[in-house]
Amino acid sequence: QEISALFRRAHKEGKITAMDASVAVTDSESCKMNLLRQTLQHTDIFIPSYEEASYLAQKEKVEDIIEAFRQFPLKVFGIKLGAEGCVLTDFKETIYRKPYKDKPVVDTTGAGDSFMGALLFQATRKGFSIDQLSVDELKSIAGFANACSAGSTRKYGSMDVMTTMEDARWIMENIPLKQPTYDF
């Protein structure tokens, strides 16, 4: 409830709210979507991992998970698919962004946090209107976030692994996109 109140207050102040939830996936029936229902009413951007989104929605197919989150006034909803890339939607258009074939993958700790930080950085740096993101803008933001996430997997741990702008550009220009195994 504290986060919900904070997000409600942020909206009253005209601020954008974003959440990368860390949900403990359990068998408790009392959790699931009800865990975040009030907060999601005041969230603009929500991008959980596939495991978290699947658990909250109680769905397995990406398309069904997206449908389950349509009930909330989210401006951007996404699912981090790990080594399979990501999906972003504004519920009008949905884009799938392939991951980069960045090798070697040493440690994935913090890759999702790198993705989310890069996504928010890119969206605010370029001054995109959160209410009117185009498909090209979503693709651009997702590509940059995927590059930063890939770059963060080159070292052990979650500290001191953030990808620089130069590294992200290099990855985007020089590393081919991986062929996904997920059929989206």
Q: Which residues of the chain have pLDDT under 50?
A: none
Handedness of CA 101, 103, 109, 110 (dihedral sign): negative
Question: pLDDT tens digits for 102-145?
Answer: 667 888 888 888 888 898 888 887 666 777 778 888 888 888 88
- pLDDT of res. 27: 54
- pLDDT of res. 21: 73
- pLDDT of res. 158: 63
Q: What are phi and psi of 49, to 5 degrees?
A: -75, 165
Helix (H, G, I), strand (E, B) or coil at 78: strand
- pLDDT of res. 79: 95
- pLDDT of res. 89: 93
Handedness of CA 86, 129, 45, 38 (dihedral sign): negative
